[in-house]
Structure 1
Amino acid sequence: MKPTTEKIFTHPLGIMAAATGATFLWGSAFPFVKLSYTELGIGKNELFKQILFAGYRFVLASLLIMLIIKLIGKSIGYQRGSLLKVGRIGLFQTLLQYVFFYYGLSGSTGVQGSIIAGTTSFFQILLAHFMYTSDKITVRKVAGLLVGFAGVILVGITKGSVSFNFGIAEICLLLAMFFGALGNVLSKKESEHLDILYMTSYQMLLGGLVLVAVGATGAGIMPFEFTWKAAWMFLYLAVLSALGFVLWNTVMKYNKVGSISMYLFLIPVFGVFLSAALLREELHLIVWAALALVVSGIVIVNRAKAPQTLDLR
């Protein structure tokens, strides 16, 4: 008999609830990071402050997960032999992803960042091809990749013109999505040997502490003046990181990469509409077209095989 956790996260409704919840939380991060920058006075070119803010967010997120571990009666002590495993995940899923994410988002709009976030699904498909023999690239997946990346290119077109506005900020966001996808795939592999809560909390702690150390070298240890508004937004970002990664890493543990990657299309959907609502960013025709292409590409990539090709063994 399957353990209760596995039964929940392999059931279609459990997969849908967990994956949708995680993508909603991640989609909401785009406007909330932008709002936090405004409230704390973090400028576009203040890279060290951006990194420091990210570091504090993930250290707090890791501590929240450790509190959950303690409350359910498990040990939060270090497990011998796990440092390299959680360190490698933390390098990609927290450190590198969010160095590029925070800098990229500071120079891009919430809507643009949300649409580019859709590329995480494509990167996961590509990485899974090389890391898992059961997730090979097919013609259908290539077609989906081309359609999706066409949407990423289109999002760089400015309103009312045919010029492109795809600069260093958008390139950084693409790199962030690549490192995030790599971290996701690595976490699936390591979750075969490590508890999800332990793995997620320690990779966040290690990645977060490095972010704090790097940010503090250029911005000092506490250059921020937290208002009540900034404080609750910071807390929300930490909570969404904790819950989002726990949900996603758990659903990744019990399912194939390709079978759940389709849910990542909800990140740009949630992110675009939340950015429009909270940041008052305009949803003009090009944004709708780019969003449609990204979503279409992800659906094509993850579309189930035709019945006649199913292996019924």
Structure 2
Amino acid sequence: MSAKTFFRHPLGAALAACIATFLWGSAFPFVKWSYEVLDIRPEETGEQILFAGYRFFLASIMIFIFFTLARKNLLFQKKNTIELMRIGFFQTFLQYILFYIGLSHSTGIQGSIIAGSTSFFQMLLAHFIYQNDPMNRKKVMGLVIGFAGVVLVNIQQGTLNIVFGLGEILLLTAMMTSAVGNILAREGSQRMPVSYLTAYQMLFGSTGLVVAGGLMAGWFPFEWNVQATLLLIYLSFLSAAGFILWNNVMKYNKVGNVSMYLFLVPVFGVMLSGLILHEPIHLYVLLGLSFVASGIVIVNRDGRKARSSGS
């Protein structure tokens, strides 16, 4: 079975999307855990950006090694430079500057649920970009319900005070940037192989992260041990595997048909944050999670009835 046949098949697309969203959901607690092990504090912005750069640079190397062993041609072509740098800027560089700084000022659970908003931003972008993926009343209702969930999860336990600070704002902006990057990657994948696109956009984006973080914090500010090294390797692996799977899903399916699977990111993220970080899962978290998941399902219900490949 070819990659095209697999990723266009409903079961193939669903399996790939579920694996990708599980990997991305696990990133929230594992990044927070890495901050603890490496003693990266919320005010240490340079260290956060540099750690992100290490992660995605290693992830890009993993992709190059894997596809080289698989005898895929990843020889760089100058004609793609501008497009790859543009995708890398949004999908890796800018998104993860915002993400890593934002997560340092938030909890793994809050970050996980806010991550569900990527689907909504993709819906809005698809409305303006693709004629066959317009907004309608159900999608608008889904958007409202989904964002209500983002607000609910930021209500303090035992009070009705809404805590929506710097961390949450940065994470929400990161998800907007992610949606832009996903759309750009989808367009780019119509002209370039996904393996090639993913490897080079991540290489360009991570190089920018390393340079920015290194200039701010120095090039080697961390004291590495076995635990920290294993965490970095896992985070790099989930980035490489997640982006390859998701970019293939996006390439062979309509945006509106597959974005619903992104609701699994907050589901996995909340469960794993509670399990790994022992963060409390109170009533407002569960309500917010159910609102976000319901909103994404409502937004995508029409698309599932008329599943077809994107043009």
What is the CA–CA distance in structure 1 between the aligned matches of 2:107 and 2:78, rounded to whole Å? 43
Q: In structure 2, the residue corresponding to 1:158 is in which secondary structure?
A: coil
Two-structure CA RMSD over aligned residues (Å):
1.5
Q: Secondary structure at the match of 1:225?
A: coil
| Cα distance in 2 for residues equivalent to 1:250 and 1:16 | 12
**Given the alignment, which residue of 282, 285, 289 partners 2:283?**
285
The alpha-carbon deviation at position 13 of structure 1 amounts to 1.2
Equivalent-residue separation in structure 2 for 1:310 and 1:188 (angstroms): 17
Quote the residue 1:272 is aligned against. Answer: 270
Match of 2:198 among 200, 204, 212: 200
The answer to whether 1:250 aligns with 2:245 is no
Conserved 8 A contact 2:257-2:307: no
For 1:306 and 1:14, the matched residues in 2 are separated by 15
Equivalent in the alignment of 1:133? 131
Identity level (%): 54
* 1:1-313 → structure 2 map (5 Å cutoff): 4-304=2-302
* Alpha-carbon distance in structure 2 between the residues aligned to 1:75 and 1:244: 20
Deviates further, 86-95 or 67-76: 67-76
What SS does the aligned partner of 1:250 have? Answer: helix
TM-score of the two chains, using structure 2 as the length reference: 0.97
Distance 1:124 1:143 in 2: 15
Superposed CA deviations along residues 78-113 of structure 1, whole A, max 9, x for unmatched, are 113011111111010001100000000001000000
Give the gaps of 5 or more residues in structure 1: none
Q: Which amino acid aligns with 1:34?
A: K
**Partner amino acid, structure 2, of 1:271:** G
| Alignment-mate amino acid for residue 83 of structure 2 | K
What is the CA-CA distance between 1:305 and the residue it aligns to?
Answer: 6.2
Matched residue SS, 1:81: helix
- Answer whether contact 2:256 2:303 (CA < 8 A) is retained: no
SS in 2 for 1:134: coil
Residue identity matched to 1:5: A
After the TM superposition, which segments of 4 or more aligned residues of structure 1 sit over 3 Å from their partners? none
Q: Distance in 1 between matches of 2:297 and 2:243?
A: 22
- Any stretches of 5+ residues in structure 2 without a counterpart? none
Q: Taking structure 1 as reference, are residues 12 and 225 closer, same or farther at Cα in structure 2, changes over 3 Å only?
A: same
- TM-score where L is the length of structure 1: 0.96
1:186-205 deviations in whole A, cap 9, x for unaligned? 10001010010110010000
1:155, CA displacement in angstroms? 1.2
Write the distance in 2 (CA, Å) between the matches of 1:66 and 1:115: 32
